[in-house]
């Protein structure tokens, strides 16, 4: 999530049904199919967990409870404050806005700023969960995915019977917007390379290559906070946005210095948070990817435009379960 305005257009495109990984073996669906002993299984939580906090834009307090869900359920948000408690599937086709955060909508209901929790689901490898929320905006917590990740780890993971399905990239796909781009190319596991470039000297140019596993996400990525510039926060608040934004839930930059007394959590916290946002956006595919994603100066809008292109180019990927092998 970002704190400064970006141009966007609502997107609405289909996504295949859904059904992490550090080693894998591709599967020949011929004569050896019946010899496969085990696939990476879907996972849910062992028990419900709850938290509450304010929304970064609304400034309103909301509470969420994350509950276990059955196989092939996917991630869904349920608005418990609305009549009929409508569900909103966490899928790309439900995206209605990407200007300041990722917003999903269905049945006249919306849920906003879901990317940090979605990144945590990806980082912990949770496929199926029900997120009950009593308002339209997710709590921002400390501006990172740290608290959400800790909650999910506290709840524990429970393996399920059915296999997890993957998008397996078979051809490169790239989209560009001037000098910005997002690309994916075939790769045996999931790797993401994220690069950013700002004229502000506090941020400058940063690049991070990250090979995702359930063991490294919490320490290496989840603590990275959203960031913004003090002048942009003041501008947002003029339009009744960013009402919950503060030094408690964002890294705030004023010219050539960070205003937070505690400083940065990582020397390259800015690119780590951008990578976190990418994980949250790509989680809306409904299945994890085997491939190498590379982004340069990308944000929610370009990420979602790429997902739309990715889903349309059906000859550039296939979906399948992946066999468990020893490291």
Count Cβ atoms below 10 Å from residue 156 Cβ, excluding itself: 14
CA distance 282 to 288: 8
CA distance 293 to 309: 14
Q: Within 13 Å of residue 260, how many CA atoms lie on the same side as its CB? A: 21
pLDDT tens by residue, 167-181: 999 999 999 999 999
Which three-class secondary structure state does DSSP give residue 16? coil
| 8 Å CB contact between 193 and 209 | yes
Where do we find the tokens 């790239």?
Answer: 174
Residue 245 is predicted with a pLDDT of 84
CA distance 127 to 287: 8
Report the candidate in 217, 205, 191 with the shortest Cα–Cα distance to residue 271: 205
CA distance 188 to 23: 8
Q: Within 13 Å of residue 276, how many CA atoms lie on the same side as its CB? A: 34
Q: Which residues does 87 contact at the CB level (< 8 Å), separation at least 6?
A: 76, 77, 78, 106, 107
CA distance 93 to 78: 17
Annotated binding site: 116, 273, 277
Report the candidate in 103, 303, 70 with the shortest Cα–Cα distance to residue 184: 303
pLDDT tens by residue, 227-250: 999 887 766 766 666 677 889 999
Question: How would you write the pLDDT of the chain (327 residues) with one tens digit per residue?
Answer: 554 333 333 333 344 444 433 333 344 444 444 444 578 999 999 999 999 999 998 889 999 999 999 999 999 999 999 999 999 999 999 999 988 889 999 999 999 999 999 999 999 999 999 999 999 999 999 999 999 999 999 999 999 999 999 999 999 999 999 999 999 999 999 999 999 999 999 999 999 999 998 689 999 999 999 999 988 776 676 666 667 788 999 999 998 999 999 999 999 999 999 999 999 999 999 999 999 999 999 999 999 999 999 999 999 999 999 887 655
Report the candidate in 209, 186, 208 with the shortest Cα–Cα distance to residue 291: 186
Which three-class secondary structure state does DSSP give residue 316? helix
CA distance 27 to 33: 7
DSSP 287: S
Active site residue 300: yes
Residue 325 is predicted with a pLDDT of 65
CATH homologous superfamily of domain 33-321?
Answer: lpxc deacetylase, domain 2 (3.30.1700.10)
Residue 35 is predicted with a pLDDT of 44
CA distance 13 to 34: 35
Annotated binding site for Zn(2+): 116, 273, 277
List the chain domain ranges.
Answer: 33-321
Residue 173 is predicted with a pLDDT of 98
| 8 Å CB contact between 80 and 136 | no
Name the catalytic one among 57, 223, 300, 304.
300
């Amino acid at each position: 999530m970002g704190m400064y305005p970006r141009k966007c257009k609502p997107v609405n495109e289909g996504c295949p049904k859904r059904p992490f990984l550090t080693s894998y073996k591709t599967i020949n669906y011929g004569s050896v199919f019946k010899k496969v002993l085990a696939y990476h299984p879907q996972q849910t939580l062992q028990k419900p967990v709850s938290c509450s906090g304010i929304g970064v834009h609304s400034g309103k307090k909301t509470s969420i409870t994350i509950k276990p869900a059955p196989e092939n359920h996917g991630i869904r948000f349920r608005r418990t404050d609305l009549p009929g408690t409508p569900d909103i599937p966490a899928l790309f086709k439900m995206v209605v806005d990407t200007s300041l955060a990722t917003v999903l909508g269905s049945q006249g209901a919306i849920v906003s700023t879901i990317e940090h929790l979605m990144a945590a689901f990806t980082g912990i490898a949770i496929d199926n969960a029900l997120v009950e929320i009593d308002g339209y905006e997710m709590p921002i917590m400390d501006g990172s995915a740290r608290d959400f990740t800790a909650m999910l780890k506290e709840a524990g993971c429970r393996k399920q019977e059915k296999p997890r399905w993957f998008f397996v990239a078979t051809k490169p796909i790239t989209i560009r917007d001037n000098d910005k781009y997002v690309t994916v190319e075939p790769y045996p596991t999931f790797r993401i390379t994220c690069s950013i470039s700002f004229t502000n000297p506090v941020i400058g140019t940063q690049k991070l290559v990250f090979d995702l596993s359930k063991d490294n996400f919490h320490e290496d990525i989840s603590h990275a906070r959203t960031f913004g510039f003090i002048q942009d926060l003041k501008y947002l608040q003029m339009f009744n946005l960013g009402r919950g934004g503060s030094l408690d839930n964002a890294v705030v930059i004023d010219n050539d210095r960070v205003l937070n007394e505690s400083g940065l959590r990582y020397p390259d916290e800015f690119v780590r948070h951008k990578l976190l946002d990418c994980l949250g956006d790509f989680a809306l595919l409904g299945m994890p990817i085997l491939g190498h994603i590379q982004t340069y100066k990308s944000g929610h809008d370009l990420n979602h435009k790429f997902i739309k292109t990715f889903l349309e180019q059906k000859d550039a990927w296939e979906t399948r379960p992946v066999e468990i092998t020893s490291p």
